[in-house]
Every structure is written in C-alpha cells, then in structure tokens.
Structure 1
Amino acid sequence: MMADKNRHWSERFIGLAYADLGRTPEGVDCWGLVRLVLASQGIDVPSYAGGYASTEERAEIAGLIEGAKPSWIRSLVPQELDLVTFRRGRLESHVGVVVEPGRMLHVTEGMPSCIESYRDEYWSARLTGFWRHAGSRSGS
C-alpha cells in the first residue's frame, strides 16, 4: 500500500496503545514509540527492553537515557525528529519525538500516543533537553 505523500509521518503513530516495555505498533512505552518513529525514518536505535523491568523503574530508565547521550548531539534549536527528554520526579525518565517546534509525539501510561505541546506548563517544567541522532535527516 502506497503512503499518502500529503500525510505527515507522525499521523501513523497517533493513537498507539500504551504497553509497558512495548516495542511494536500493537503497544509501546515512550522509548518504544521513539524507536518505531526513528526506524520508520531509517534510524536504528537500541531497544533497551532488557534494561528495565517496567516503566516504574525510573532510576534504571534514567541511567539508560544518560548512557545513550554520547551517541546523540545536544540540539539547541529543536527540529523534527529530535528527542525531547523530561524529568519525572527527580529523574530524567520520559522521552518524546519533536513533530515540529513546540509539539511532540509521546505516550504515557493510561493514554494512547498523542501530540502535545512541550511548551505547556506541565511539560515545560519537566523538560531537560533536546537531542538529535547523528543519522537524522535534520542534520546538526
């Protein structure tokens, strides 16, 4: 089936069910969603599914995020396909994908994947940075 060239890449990822440790379109956690999006753009990133037992293990997730940062470039001006990272409590343990400046695609427990503003009060207070994969078409 041919993709509609007028559709934005993010549309096919909206509404995916949340699933703890999910890595498929049938269900994803926040990293699983990032992984699916980047794979659709030809960018392969590790699964990390074996790095934590559930998304409740925020310290383990924060460690994985911190450990992955050397393979990403800090982005001072967010662009499409950049990762956006957030604190949950004191730990950096949530990620989304920039759809366009000001908006991200992400998924959280109890909600399907959606697009939200990372500039709103809730997310902006938790935002820790933007990161660009070296293989991203956005460049650096």
Structure 2
Amino acid sequence: MMHWSTRYLGTPYLDHGRTLDGVDCWGLVTVVYWMDLSIQLPSYAGGYVSTDERAEISALISENKQVGPWRAVTEPAPYDVAVFRRGLHESHVGIVAIPGRMLHIPYDHAKIEDYRTGVWGQRLTGFYRHVDVASKVSQ
C-alpha cells in the first residue's frame, strides 16, 4: 500500500500556488488537507506578496498557529503541521508524514525530509494539530 504522501512528491513550487499544478509551503498544506482529509483551510494567499516576504508570513503564522482549530502538540503525528524559522522569522511549514519525516516544499518541488536533524532540526519551532484531524485519520 502506498503512503499518502507519495502522491504529492515532485509537486512543483509556485508562489501562492494552491493546486497540484504548483504550491508554496502553505499551499501544500491546504492541498493535502483538502485532498486527504476533506478539511478546507484558509488560503492566506492574499496575506503576503511572495514567499520571500518572511515577516508577512511570520505574522500570519503567529496570528493563526494557536487559535481556532489549531493546537500545539509535543508528540507529532501524521498530518500535523511543523513550523520552522527561516532567519529570524517563522515562515515555513511542512506536514508530518511519519514521526521524524515531513512532506514540504522548500523552493523547487515537494519532498520528504527529516525535520529532526540538519538545517530543519535547528529551525523547528513547534508542531500544530488541526482539531478535525483525529476524526479523519485512523492511527
């Protein structure tokens, strides 16, 4: 049986993209949540000019990561959203595929990487679970 994340591997990067034709990091989260979990997340595409605007993205993340349907978690599970700093700002997200590995799109295409080590391990700031995920995912 194929892992759920496999269908997203290689999806191209596209600033403000929200379809499998191209996504940015939040766009990948919205596509996965809709296609796999039938959870519609806000686009936020109008909240920043480009993904190079890290302060704007950081403000969106800060405003939304612990309100509404999101809860901070310490034991990440599949479909949890991992938040990372880029420079001084929390401005990148990935999706936990399995504990220790995330699906994300750094700038070229969607891939799986370890979030515990290397550059991502040093930038990880937390994990967040959407309240509707538990009812959609059998663990």
- Mark yes or no: TM-score above 0.5: yes
Which residue of 2 is the match for residue 113 of structure 1? 110
Amino acid at match of 2:118: E
Give the letter for the 1:106 counterpart.
Answer: H
Q: What's the secondary structure of 2:106's corresponding residue? A: coil
Give me the whole-angstrom Cα distance separating, in 2, the residues matched to 1:43 and 1:8. Answer: 19
Aligned to 2:18: 23
Distance 1:8 1:32 in 2: 20
1:135 aligns with 2:132: yes
Identity of aligned residues (%): 51
Q: Deviations over 1:69-123 (max 9, x none)?
A: 21210011000000000000010000000000000000012x2100000012210
Answer yes or no: is 1:54 the counterpart of 2:57.
no
Give the TM-score, by structure 2 length.
0.92
Aligned to 1:119, the other structure's residue is in SS state: coil
Structure 2 unaligned segments of length 5 or more: list them. none
Deviating 4+ runs (over 3 angstroms): none
Aligned to 1:115, the other structure's residue is in SS state: strand
> After the TM superposition, which of the residue ranges 30-39 and 64-73 deviates more from structure 2?
64-73
- 1:44 alignment partner, one of 31, 36, 40: 40
Q: Distance in 1 between matches of 2:84 and 2:60?
A: 13
In structure 1, C-alpha distance between the alignment counterparts of 2:13 and 2:38, rounded to whole Å: 23
One-letter amino acid of the counterpart of residue 57, structure 2 = I
CA RMSD of aligned residues (A): 1.2
SS of residue in 2 equivalent to 1:21? coil
Matched residue count: 133
Task: Quote the residue 1:3 is aligned against.
Answer: none
Gaps of 5+ in 1: 1-5
AA matched with 1:134: V
Q: Which residue type is aligned with residue 105 of structure 2?
A: V
Please give the residue correspondences for 1:79-118 in structure 2 after superposition, counting only pairs within 5 Å. 79-109=77-107, 111-118=108-115
CA distance, structure 1, for counterparts of residue 80 and residue 49 of structure 2: 26
| 1:126 and 2:119 matched | no
Amino acid at match of 1:118: Y
Task: Report the residue type matching 2:116 in the other structure.
Answer: R
